[in-house]
Structure 1
Amino acid sequence: MQRSIVGLTRNIARQRAVPISYRLNTLRTSPIVFRNSAFIRLYATEQQSKNDQEDGKDKSKVEESKDQSNAEAEEKSLEGGNTATSEVEQKLQELEQKYLNKDKEYAELKDLYIRSLADFRNLQETTKREIQKAKDFALQKFAKDLIESIDNFGHALNAVDEKTLDSNKEFKNLYEGVKMTSDIFKKTLEKHGLKEIDAIGEKFDPNKHEATFEVPQPDKEPGTVFHVQQPGYELNGRVLRAAKVGIVKDDK
C-alpha cells in the first residue's frame, strides 16, 4: 500500500505541468487512488474497531476491578458493621447486667433502711416510755414513805370524837387545822401522781384491793367493797399499796 501511494505521488509530480483541474479530476477518478482510499478507510475502521474493543476490554476490566473493589469494601464494611454490632450488643448486655445488679442492691439497701428505720423508731418509743416511767416512778420509794404520814393524819382525825369537838372550841380549831393540813398534803401529792384509791362501791379488784373480811349485805351487790379498813394508794396508775377492804358476801 505504501508503494502504491509513493508511485501515485511521483506520477502526480510528473504531471505538474498539467492543469490543476485536470489533475484533480484524474486523481479523483483514478482506480488506484480509489482502491487505496477505500483500503485506508477500511484499515482505519478496523484499527478503530480494534482500539474500541481494546478500550472496551480495558473499561470492562476497570469496571470489574471497581466492582470487585466495591464488593470487597462492602464486605469489609459488613464485617466491620457486624463486629461493631456485636460489640454494641455485648456492651448492652453488660449494662443490663449491671443495671440488674444495681436494682437488686438498691432493693436490699432499701429493705435494710426500712428495717433500720423501724428499729430506730421502736427504740425511740421504748426509750421515751422508759424515760417517762423513770420520771413517773422516780419518787416511788419516797411516796411509799409519805403514805405512812398520810395514815397518821387519818388516824389522828379518826380518833377525835364529835362530841368533844362540840364542847371544846380550841380542840375543834386544832382538829380543823390538822384536817386542812391533811387535805393540802393529799392535794399536793395528787399533783405529782400519788392519789388515794377510791374503793367504796367498786367491784372487788385483787390488783387494787385486799379483802380482809366478808359480810352479807342484803341491799348491796355481792363482791363489792362496802368498807375501807386501810386506804390504798397508786402512783401514776401503778398501785403502791392495795387498799384493805371489806366486801359484800354472797349468801347463795
Structure 2
Amino acid sequence: MNNSEQTPEAENEPKEQMVDGTPAPAESDDASGQGETDFGAEPDSLMDEQAAEIASLKDKLLRAMAEVENMRRRAEREKEDAHNYAITKFARDMLAISDNLRRALDSIPAEARTQEDIKQIVTGVELTESELLNAFEKHKIKKIEPMGKKFDPHLHQAMFEIENLEVEPGTVMQVVQSGYVIADRLLRPSMVGIAKGGQKKTDVKVDQQA
C-alpha cells in the first residue's frame, strides 16, 4: 500500500495545527471557566457594613434636623423676649412717675376737690395718669389688682397683717403700693397688708327660760 494513501479512519481524525513546527496544545473544556470572578453577589459582611453606615448617616441627619429646629425655636423665643422685655428697666423707672401721680391725687381732700381751681388741677392729673396707664397697656404692662384676693407670693409682698376675722386668713386687705407685670413676667410686686389668721367668730345662741 502506498504511504501517501490514507485510510478513511485517518481522514476522520482531527488534524493538529502546527505552530512553528510544533503541534498546538489542545484546548481544555475547563479553560473558559478559570480565572473569572463573580462580582454579582456581595459578601454578607460588606452588606452589613453598608447597612450600618446608612443607619448611622440617617441618625446623624435626624439629629442635625432636630438641632436646626431647636435653634429656630430658640431664636424665635429670644426675639419675642427681646420685643416684650426690652423696656423692662425703662418701665420700672416709669412706675415711680405713676406712683407720684396717684399720691398727688390721694393727697387732695374730698372737700377741696369742689373748689374750681383745685378741680381743674385734679382733672389734669387724672388725665395724665390715664394716658400713662394707656401707654403701659400698649407695651403689655398691666397693673396687678390684688384687693380682696388670696395672697400670692409670686405677685404680692406682704408688709403687715391686719386683724380681721370676717375673711379668710391671707386675704389681701390693703394695698400699700401697686404692683405691675410686663407680658407674663413680674415687673414689681404689690406691697399689701393681709388678714391675720384666726377662726371666724360665730354667733352663740343662749336658750332663755320663760
- TM-score normalised according to structure 1 size: 0.65
Aligned partner of 2:174 in structure 1 is: 227
Identity among equivalent pairs (%): 30
Structure 1 unaligned regions, length at least 5: 1-46, 66-71
Aligned partner of 1:244 in structure 2 is: 191
Q: In 1, distance between residues paired with 2:196 and 2:119?
A: 38
Aligned partner of 1:24 in structure 2 is: none
Alpha-carbon deviation of 1:58? 3.6
Higher helix share: 1
Q: In 2, distance between residues paired with 1:116 and 1:169?
A: 73
Aligned partner of 1:62 in structure 2 is: 13
Q: In 2, distance between residues paired with 1:81 and 1:132?
A: 74
Residue of structure 1 aligned with 2:131, choices 178, 184, 193: 184
Output one character per residue of 1:143-191: Cα deviation in whole Å (capped at 9) or x when no partner.
Answer: 111010000001001011111112x122112212211210111111111
Structure 2 unaligned regions, length at least 5: 17-25, 200-210
- Structure 1 window deviating more from structure 2 (137-146 vs 210-219): it is 210-219
- TM-score normalised according to structure 2 size: 0.77
Residue of structure 2 aligned with 1:114, choices 38, 52, 62: 62
Q: How does 1:15-54 map to 2 (within 5 A)?
A: 54=7
Alpha-carbon deviation of 1:103? 3.5
Alpha-carbon deviation of 1:223? 1.3
Q: How does 1:65-104 map to 2 (within 5 A)?
A: 75-76=28-29, 78-81=30-33, 83-84=35-36, 87-88=37-38, 91-94=39-42, 100-104=48-52
Q: In 1, distance between residues paired with 2:148 and 2:50?
A: 69
Output one character per residue of 1:7-45: Cα deviation in whole Å (capped at 9) or x when no partner.
Answer: xxxxxxxxxxxxxxxxxxxxxxxxxxxxxxxxxxxxxxx
Residue of structure 2 aligned with 1:137, choices 62, 82, 85: 85
Task: Flag the structure with more relative contact order, 1 or 2, with Cα contacts below 8 A and sequence separation at least 6.
Answer: 2
Residue of structure 2 aligned with 1:162, choices 106, 110, 117: 110
Larger Rg: 1
Q: In 1, distance between residues paired with 2:31 and 2:166?
A: 110
Aligned residues: 187
1:216 aligns to 2:163 (yes or no):
yes
Q: In 1, distance between residues paired with 2:45 and 2:154?
A: 65
Asked whether the 8 Å contact 2:162–2:173 carries over to 1, the reply is no
- Residues 1:123 and 1:62: Cα distance change in structure 2 (over 3 Å): same
